[in-house]
Amino acid sequence: MSIYLSVGSVQPFAKISTEFPEDEPGISIVIADGKVVGLRIDKNEDVLRLPGLIEKFELNPEYVWARLRGDDDVTLGRRGVHGRK
């Protein structure tokens, strides 16, 4: 199961695109108005790559971590991040 984090706001009628960075397999980003507003992580265990992704895509770390903590499935271990399902 993948994890999607909304990491920014989008203005109405903004041009939105999805990119799949070649150097980040299993990661897709949503871009609106020239900035990353969404991050999709395909494999649960890849959430461990989040610190590097935050730096690479110049995301607000406090906001991203708060979004992740707000996801009950992740914080309660329901998605198998630690090998449990």
- One DSSP character per residue, the chain reads --EEEE-S---TT--EEEE--TTSTTEEEEEETTEEEEEEESSGGGGGGHHHHHHHTT--HHHHHHHHHT-HHHHTTTT-TTS--
Q: Does the structure show a pLDDT above 60 at 41?
A: yes
Q: Is residue 9 in some structural domain?
A: yes
For residue 48, tell me if it sits in a domain.
yes
Residue range(s) defining the domain that contains residue 64: 3-75
82: in domain: no
Residue 83 scores a pLDDT above 70:
no
pLDDT at 85: 45
User: Does residue 14 form part of some domain?
Assistant: yes
Is 83 domain-assigned? Answer: no
- pLDDT band at residue 76 under the 50/70/90 scheme: low
Least confident of 39-48, 51-60, 62-71: 62-71
In a domain, 41, yes or no: yes
Domains held by the chain: number: 1
How does residue 71 score in pLDDT terms, banded at 50, 70 and 90?
low
